[in-house]
């Protein structure tokens, strides 16, 4: 389940229905998907796409997405920091950014034109569709791990256009992770 935080308002949203409503108001689709069959961590991209075909194929038809692939990022991925640096500065794309998280976590910050920046922390089972033209940036969480399905209308449209406002510098790329939802033990006297 995703977590949405609005740092400027001191607000956090953890309820799935509230997250869906909040993101929809900003034009962002949020869904939870479950696979048709269990997926091993070493499953091939083809196996992953087949396991989610029931959800992937209708979304591709609806959104005009023509290709789907699976990215796999690990702490030992070559040139990881350089790759991450491309997306951790505020940017926008000529096409939608569609990600379904299979494994790991990530943090999208979204900068709407008329309201405060908010962060969406995504994890396994979360589908997010950020519409073309939306100003945003992306970071991995501390474990530097994400495996995700990506859908593209045209991969050339997915080149980042940087805003160079520096706004991203004012937000810590901190993930709460599942532990955020674990109640702390009651203090002992």
Nearer to Fe ion, 111 or 147 (CB): 111
Report in angstroms how near the CB of residue 93 gets to Fe ion at its nearest.
Answer: 6
The owner of tokens 């869904």 is 31
Stretch that binds Fe ion, among 6-14, 65-73, 91-99, 105-113 (CB under 5 A): 91-99
Looking at the Cβ atoms of 97 and 168, the one nearer to Fe ion is 97
Name the closest residue to Fe ion (Cβ): 97
- Which H/E stretch holds residue 23? helix 16-25
Nearer to Fe ion, 51 or 121 (CB): 121
Query: Could you identify the residue written with the tokens 């940017």?
Result: 91
Per the DSSP assignment, residues forming a β-bridge with 68 are 151
**Least distance between Fe ion and beta carbon 130 (Å):** 7
The alpha carbon of 122 is separated from its chain's Cα centroid by a whole number of angstroms, namely: 5
Q: Which pair of structure tokens corresponds to residue 136?
A: 């945003």
For Fe ion, give the closer residue by CB, 97 or 123. 97
Count of other CB atoms within 10 angstroms of residue 85 = 10
**Which residues form the interface with Fe ion (CB under 5 A)?**
97
């Amino acid at each position: 389940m995703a977590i949405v935080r609005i740092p400027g308002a001191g607000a956090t949203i953890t309820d799935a229905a509230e997250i869906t409503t909040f993101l929809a108001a900003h034009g962002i689709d949020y869904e939870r998907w479950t696979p048709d069959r269990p997926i091993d961590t070493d499953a091939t991209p083809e196996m992953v796409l087949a396991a989610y075909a029931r959800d992937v194929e209708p979304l591709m038809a609806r959104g005009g997405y023509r290709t789907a692939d699976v990215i796999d990022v690990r702490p030992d991925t070559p040139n990881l920091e350089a790759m991450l640096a491309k997306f951790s500065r505020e940017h926008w794309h000529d096409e939608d950014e569609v990600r379904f998280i299979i494994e790991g976590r990530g943090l999208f910050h979204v900068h709407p034109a008329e309201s405060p920046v908010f962060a969406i922390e995504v994890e396994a089972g979360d589908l997010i569709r950020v519409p073309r033209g939306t100003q945003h940036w992306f970071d991995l969480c501390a474990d530097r791990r994400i495996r995700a399905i990506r859908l593209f209308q045209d991969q050339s449209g997915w080149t980042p256009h940087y805003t160079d406002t520096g706004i991203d510098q004012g937000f810590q790329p901190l993930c709460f992770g599942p532990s955020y939802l674990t109640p702390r033990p009651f203090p002992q006297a």
